[in-house]
Amino acid sequence: MPDKLEFQLSIYPDPVLRKVAAPVEAFDDDLAATVAAMFDRMYASSGVGLAAPQVGLGRRILVLNPTGEPADELALVNVSIVDRSGPEVSFEEGCLSFPGIYADVRRPERCKVQAFSVTGEPIEREFDDFTSRIVQHEYDHLEGVLLVDRMSPADKQRHKAALEELVERYRDGLRRTSAPQRR
Protein backbone atom coordinates (compact mmCIF):
# COMPACT_ATOMS: atom_id res chain seq x y z
CA MET A 1 0.00 0.00 0.00
CA PRO A 2 1.36 3.43 -0.88
CA ASP A 3 1.36 6.04 1.86
CA LYS A 4 -1.91 7.86 2.28
CA LEU A 5 -1.96 11.12 0.35
CA GLU A 6 -1.67 14.15 2.60
CA PHE A 7 -1.92 17.77 1.52
CA GLN A 8 -0.66 20.98 3.05
CA LEU A 9 -2.45 24.26 2.40
CA SER A 10 -0.99 26.73 -0.08
CA ILE A 11 -1.10 30.12 1.61
CA TYR A 12 -1.21 33.54 -0.08
CA PRO A 13 0.89 34.72 -1.94
CA ASP A 14 1.95 31.27 -3.15
CA PRO A 15 2.01 31.66 -6.97
CA VAL A 16 0.13 28.38 -7.45
CA LEU A 17 -2.96 30.27 -6.25
CA ARG A 18 -2.71 32.61 -9.25
CA LYS A 19 -2.61 29.97 -11.97
CA VAL A 20 -5.69 29.06 -13.98
CA ALA A 21 -6.31 25.39 -13.19
CA ALA A 22 -6.30 22.79 -15.99
CA PRO A 23 -9.03 20.21 -16.58
CA VAL A 24 -8.75 16.75 -15.09
CA GLU A 25 -8.23 14.19 -17.83
CA ALA A 26 -8.46 10.83 -16.08
CA PHE A 27 -11.22 9.80 -13.68
CA ASP A 28 -9.05 7.20 -12.04
CA ASP A 29 -7.84 6.04 -8.62
CA ASP A 30 -5.41 8.96 -8.43
CA LEU A 31 -8.31 11.39 -8.77
CA ALA A 32 -10.30 9.55 -6.09
CA ALA A 33 -7.30 9.64 -3.74
CA THR A 34 -6.77 13.34 -4.48
CA VAL A 35 -10.39 14.19 -3.72
CA ALA A 36 -10.35 12.13 -0.52
CA ALA A 37 -7.19 13.89 0.65
CA MET A 38 -8.72 17.28 -0.23
CA PHE A 39 -11.71 16.47 2.00
CA ASP A 40 -9.30 15.39 4.78
CA ARG A 41 -7.43 18.68 4.48
CA MET A 42 -10.64 20.71 4.38
CA TYR A 43 -12.10 19.09 7.50
CA ALA A 44 -8.78 19.20 9.37
CA SER A 45 -8.64 22.95 8.66
CA SER A 46 -12.29 23.48 9.67
CA GLY A 47 -13.14 24.67 6.17
CA VAL A 48 -16.41 24.36 4.26
CA GLY A 49 -14.80 24.33 0.82
CA LEU A 50 -11.43 23.76 -0.81
CA ALA A 51 -10.12 24.09 -4.37
CA ALA A 52 -7.23 22.03 -5.73
CA PRO A 53 -4.88 25.03 -6.21
CA GLN A 54 -5.10 25.52 -2.43
CA VAL A 55 -3.23 22.26 -2.00
CA GLY A 56 -0.77 23.06 -4.78
CA LEU A 57 -2.59 21.27 -7.61
CA GLY A 58 -3.47 23.19 -10.75
CA ARG A 59 -6.52 21.06 -11.46
CA ARG A 60 -10.19 21.96 -11.82
CA ILE A 61 -11.38 20.15 -8.69
CA LEU A 62 -13.29 21.55 -5.76
CA VAL A 63 -14.75 19.98 -2.67
CA LEU A 64 -17.28 21.40 -0.28
CA ASN A 65 -19.53 20.61 2.61
CA PRO A 66 -21.71 23.48 3.80
CA THR A 67 -22.98 21.68 6.93
CA GLY A 68 -20.30 19.15 7.84
CA GLU A 69 -22.88 16.33 7.55
CA PRO A 70 -21.54 13.41 5.46
CA ALA A 71 -24.63 13.55 3.21
CA ASP A 72 -23.78 17.14 2.18
CA GLU A 73 -20.29 16.33 0.96
CA LEU A 74 -19.82 17.29 -2.67
CA ALA A 75 -16.87 17.04 -5.07
CA LEU A 76 -17.05 18.86 -8.41
CA VAL A 77 -14.53 17.99 -11.13
CA ASN A 78 -14.02 20.11 -14.26
CA VAL A 79 -16.69 22.40 -12.93
CA SER A 80 -18.00 25.40 -14.80
CA ILE A 81 -20.52 27.94 -13.61
CA VAL A 82 -23.03 28.19 -16.45
CA ASP A 83 -25.36 30.73 -14.86
CA ARG A 84 -25.44 33.18 -11.96
CA SER A 85 -28.70 34.79 -10.93
CA GLY A 86 -30.60 36.53 -8.18
CA PRO A 87 -29.72 39.71 -6.37
CA GLU A 88 -26.13 40.45 -5.45
CA VAL A 89 -25.69 39.75 -1.77
CA SER A 90 -22.88 40.71 0.54
CA PHE A 91 -21.51 38.11 2.95
CA GLU A 92 -18.39 37.81 5.05
CA GLU A 93 -16.00 35.28 3.53
CA GLY A 94 -12.89 33.66 4.86
CA CYS A 95 -10.39 31.54 2.96
CA LEU A 96 -8.05 28.79 4.11
CA SER A 97 -5.34 30.43 2.00
CA PHE A 98 -5.79 33.71 3.94
CA PRO A 99 -5.69 32.60 7.58
CA GLY A 100 -7.28 35.11 9.94
CA ILE A 101 -8.61 37.40 7.20
CA TYR A 102 -12.34 37.91 6.65
CA ALA A 103 -14.01 40.34 4.28
CA ASP A 104 -17.44 41.07 2.86
CA VAL A 105 -17.81 39.96 -0.74
CA ARG A 106 -20.75 40.66 -3.05
CA ARG A 107 -21.90 37.79 -5.24
CA PRO A 108 -25.11 36.78 -7.03
CA GLU A 109 -27.33 34.72 -4.74
CA ARG A 110 -27.66 31.68 -7.01
CA CYS A 111 -25.46 29.78 -9.41
CA LYS A 112 -25.84 26.82 -11.71
CA VAL A 113 -22.95 24.49 -12.43
CA GLN A 114 -22.04 21.72 -14.79
CA ALA A 115 -19.36 19.35 -13.60
CA PHE A 116 -18.40 15.72 -13.25
CA SER A 117 -18.38 13.51 -10.20
CA VAL A 118 -15.17 11.86 -9.09
CA THR A 119 -16.20 8.80 -11.09
CA GLY A 120 -16.94 10.82 -14.22
CA GLU A 121 -20.73 11.09 -14.10
CA PRO A 122 -22.08 14.41 -15.33
CA ILE A 123 -23.54 16.70 -12.67
CA GLU A 124 -25.82 19.65 -13.27
CA ARG A 125 -26.99 21.48 -10.18
CA GLU A 126 -28.25 24.79 -8.93
CA PHE A 127 -27.18 26.24 -5.61
CA ASP A 128 -28.41 29.12 -3.53
CA ASP A 129 -27.49 30.92 -0.32
CA PHE A 130 -24.47 29.59 1.57
CA THR A 131 -23.72 26.68 -0.77
CA SER A 132 -23.83 28.98 -3.81
CA ARG A 133 -21.46 31.29 -1.96
CA ILE A 134 -18.99 28.44 -1.33
CA VAL A 135 -19.19 27.20 -4.93
CA GLN A 136 -18.55 30.70 -6.33
CA HIS A 137 -15.67 31.30 -3.92
CA GLU A 138 -14.02 27.97 -4.71
CA TYR A 139 -14.63 28.40 -8.43
CA ASP A 140 -12.71 31.69 -8.25
CA HIS A 141 -9.69 29.67 -7.08
CA LEU A 142 -9.76 27.64 -10.31
CA GLU A 143 -9.47 30.91 -12.22
CA GLY A 144 -6.67 32.25 -10.01
CA VAL A 145 -8.99 34.82 -8.42
CA LEU A 146 -8.56 35.35 -4.68
CA LEU A 147 -10.34 36.87 -1.71
CA VAL A 148 -7.95 39.82 -1.83
CA ASP A 149 -9.21 40.62 -5.36
CA ARG A 150 -12.84 40.58 -4.26
CA MET A 151 -12.59 42.76 -1.16
CA SER A 152 -13.46 46.44 -1.11
CA PRO A 153 -10.62 48.99 -1.14
CA ALA A 154 -11.56 49.81 2.48
CA ASP A 155 -11.19 46.15 3.54
CA LYS A 156 -7.94 45.88 1.63
CA GLN A 157 -6.65 48.84 3.60
CA ARG A 158 -7.99 47.39 6.86
CA HIS A 159 -6.19 44.09 6.19
CA LYS A 160 -3.02 45.67 4.80
CA ALA A 161 -0.81 44.68 7.74
CA ALA A 162 -2.20 41.13 7.88
CA LEU A 163 -1.70 40.68 4.12
CA GLU A 164 1.86 41.98 4.36
CA GLU A 165 2.52 39.57 7.19
CA LEU A 166 1.37 36.66 5.01
CA VAL A 167 3.76 37.82 2.27
CA GLU A 168 6.57 38.03 4.81
CA ARG A 169 5.79 34.57 6.18
CA TYR A 170 5.71 33.12 2.67
CA ARG A 171 9.13 34.61 1.90
CA ASP A 172 10.52 33.26 5.16
CA GLY A 173 9.23 29.83 4.21
CA LEU A 174 10.96 30.04 0.82
CA ARG A 175 14.22 31.07 2.46
CA ARG A 176 13.99 28.19 4.90
CA THR A 177 13.38 25.60 2.20
CA SER A 178 15.82 26.93 -0.43
CA ALA A 179 18.76 28.22 1.61
CA PRO A 180 21.47 25.79 2.63
CA GLN A 181 21.30 25.07 6.35
CA ARG A 182 23.94 26.97 8.22
CA ARG A 183 24.81 27.22 11.86
Stretch that binds Zn ion, among 20-28, 69-77, 95-103, 168-176 (CB under 5 A): 95-103
By the rule CB under 5 A, 151 interacts with Zn ion = no
Selected catalytic residue, list 121, 138, 164, 168 = 138
Nearer to Zn ion, 42 or 95 (CB): 95
Which runs of E-coded beta strand occur in 101-153? 103-116, 122-127
CB of 167 to Zn ion, least distance (A): 17
Number of residues counted as binding Zn ion (CB under 5 A): 1
CB of 72 to Zn ion, least distance (A): 19
CA 32/CA 63 separation, integer angstroms: 12
Residues 6+ apart with CB under 8 A from 116: 24, 27, 76, 77, 78, 122, 123
Q: Left if phi > 0, otherwise alpha if psi is -120 to 50, otherwise beta: which for 9?
A: beta
CA-atom Rg of the chain in angstroms: 17
CB of 9 to Zn ion, least distance (A): 10
By the rule CB under 5 A, 95 interacts with Zn ion = yes
- Peptide bond just before 13 cis, omega within 30 deg: yes
> Which single residue brings its beta carbon nearest to Zn ion?
95
Cα-based distances in Å from 40 to 47, 62, 83, 102, 137: 10, 13, 30, 23, 19
Nearer to Zn ion, 118 or 148 (CB): 148
Stretch that binds Zn ion, among 10-18, 19-27, 90-98, 160-168 (CB under 5 A): 90-98
CB of 99 to Zn ion, least distance (A): 11
Is 25 a known active-site residue?
A: no
Nearer to Zn ion, 31 or 63 (CB): 63
CA 60/CA 57 separation, integer angstroms: 9
Active site residues: 138
- Give contact residues for Zn ion (rule: CB under 5 A): 95
